Structures are given as C-alpha cells and as structure tokens.
Amino acid sequence: MTNPFSDSIHNHEEDNILIQKIKSGDKNALETLIKKNQGYIYNIALRLVFTPEDAEDITQEVLIKVITHLSGFEGKSNFRTWLYRIAVNHILNWKKSSAEKTHTNSFSIYSKMIDGVPDFDIPDNNPYTIDTRILIKETQFTCMMGMLLCLSRDQRIVYILGSVFGLSDVTASEILEISKDNFRQKLSRARKDLYNFMHNKCGLVNKNNPCKCNKKTKHLIDIGYVNPDKLLFNRNYFHTIEQSVEKRIEDLETLSDEVCDSYFREQPFQESKDFSVYIKNLIQTDKFKNIFNYN
C-alpha cells in the first residue's frame, strides 16, 4: 500500500499522473486514487470522532467532495496537501459524535470514569467467543481512543497528524494552514497533556499505576462497553499504523513523550470500506459526466 504522506518525488509525480488521467476519463486511475487515500482518511477520521460508522460516512463524503472539485485542481499546490486539507476541514466541521459529548474534552472526567471501573480477572475458562488477549487489546485500544477524545479537536488533529501518522511540520502545517512554529507548539502541548495523563493513570506507561487493561476488560464486557461479538478497534487490519507511515525523528521529542506516541502508533491501521465501486457508479451520473470526460 502506497503511503500518500510519503515525501518522495516519485509519490508526487504519481499523483500528478493520476490526476491528468482522471481528468481525461481514466476510471482505473480514479480507482487507484481512491484506494491510495481512503484508508488514511478513514483512520484519521476514526481517531477524531471515535465511531467507525461516523468515520465511514466522513470518508465517503470527503471522497465525493474531492472528486467533485478535482476538475478545479490546477496543480498550484501539492495534490496531497490539497486533498488532505479538504479531508481535515471536513472532519473538523463534522458534527460532535456521542463519544465526544460524553468525554467533553476533559482528562479529569475521563480519569473519574476509569476509576469507576472495578477490577476483575477474566475467568480461566474463557466464556467468550474469542481469545482473551484479543479482548484485552480491544480494551487497550478503546481506552486510548478515549484519551484522544480528552484533547480538543484542534489538539487532536495536530497530534494525529504529527505523532501518530508522523507528518513533518512542513507537510502538516501546509495541510492545517498554520505556521510550522504554531504546529510544533500545538503538537508539543498535546503530547505533554497525553503524557501527563498516561504517566499518572495508565499501567502501560507507568507500571506502578494500578489501572491495567486485563483487570478492566471483564467489567467493560459485562456493561457492554466492549463487545466480544462486535469489536470496534481490534479488527479488520493487517498491520499497525507504525508499519503504514514513514519513520521520523523530530527534535521536539523527549523520551517520555515518545513512549506514549509509540502506543498510539501500535494501534491497528484498519482496513476501510472500499468506496471505489460506489464512486465509479456515482461518476456515471450527469453531474459527474459534465465534470470529467466520462462516457
């Protein structure tokens, strides 16, 4: 899978060739463009809004918006920047999800929610339909997604782009339309806020903390927050985010912050629904026939 955030010259040239082919009516080029980007749009959206269904709706709407405006792309800016600026703005303007309303951008509220979850051991004779290790990972991923919701949307998107997906300050600042210094300041603040919470609460980062995923899993299953029959985050993936992005070493990183970032990069890069067939059918309509040279 090609990483659309790669800074290689070949990647940029490939985008330009695809755009020209699409404008000339090449449906296969359109399919390639969609498949190259849909997974990244979906995984960014998922970490911003928490809910897979919302993330799918966002991805579909972003792709339609991109295709609708593609004929107006004149190549004055990098295509990747243009596309993900549309995606990020659409995501940031998306209605507040139910999960966001619950967390209200507050680490203190989330901390109290975690404290209210009693500790239990999962029975040795696993009563569930899947391996307990998968369920414990689901608890870990779910909790970490909840941590992201404690950041404001503005902080969240900066952290997702900079620390999770490893975009450079140049690329991220262009997408967000802010200065490099402003991006780095926001990223540093988001990373510190997450680290402070995880260091004081999470057993992954600080082994002395009492909060352990394996101890919380049974109760979260009992109350329906983790569903063994319908996993939200530990599903539909072949690799992690770490394996999907370029490795970078930013000089703003400290050892402690990097420990937290690494756990977020170890989360699944989930396979998104394939929107290429839907889009290819959509462009057969009169609206899109007038935009592109499709017959």
> What pLDDT is stored for residue 290 in this prediction?
62
pLDDT tens track for 26-48: 888 999 999 999 999 999 999 99
Instruction: Yes or no: say if 228 and 129 are a contact pair by the CB < 8 Å rule.
Output: yes
Q: Is residue 253 predicted with pLDDT exceeding 70? A: no
pLDDT tens track for 107-152: 999 999 999 999 999 888 888 889 999 999 999 999 999 999 999 9
> What pLDDT is stored for residue 101 in this prediction?
83
Strands 237-240 and 268-270: antiparallel
DSSP 223-260: TTSS-TTS-SSSSSEEEESGGGS-----TT--HHHHHH
Q: Where does the pLDDT of residue 249 fall: very low under 50, low under 70, confident under 90, or very high at 90 and above?
A: very low
77 versus 114: the higher-pLDDT residue is: 114
Instruction: Yes or no: say if 22 and 265 are a contact pair by the CB < 8 Å rule.
Output: no
Instruction: Yes or no: say if 56 and 91 are a contact pair by the CB < 8 Å rule.
Output: no
Q: Is residue 230 predicted with pLDDT exceeding 70? A: yes
Q: What is the mean pLDDT of the chain?
A: 89
> What pLDDT is stored for residue 73 in this prediction?
87
Q: Is residue 251 predicted with pLDDT exceeding 70? A: no
pLDDT tens track for 156-185: 999 999 999 999 999 999 999 999 999 999
The b/e string for 70-99 (b: 16+ C-beta within 10 A; e otherwise) is beeeeeeebbbbbbbbbbbbbbeebeebee
Quote the CA–CA distance of 157 and 190 in Å, as a whole number: 10
Q: Is residue 241 predicted with pLDDT exceeding 90? A: yes
Burial class (CB in 10 A: 0-12, 13-18, 19+), 158: buried
Instruction: Yes or no: say if 205 and 263 are a contact pair by the CB < 8 Å rule.
Output: yes
Q: Is residue 264 predicted with pLDDT exceeding 70? A: yes
Residue 50 falls in which region: left (phi positive, over 0), alpha (psi -120 to 50) or beta: left
Q: Where does the pLDDT of residue 255 fall: very low under 50, low under 70, confident under 90, or very high at 90 and above?
A: low
Taking every pair of C-alpha atoms in the chain, what is the biggest distance, in angstroms?
Answer: 65
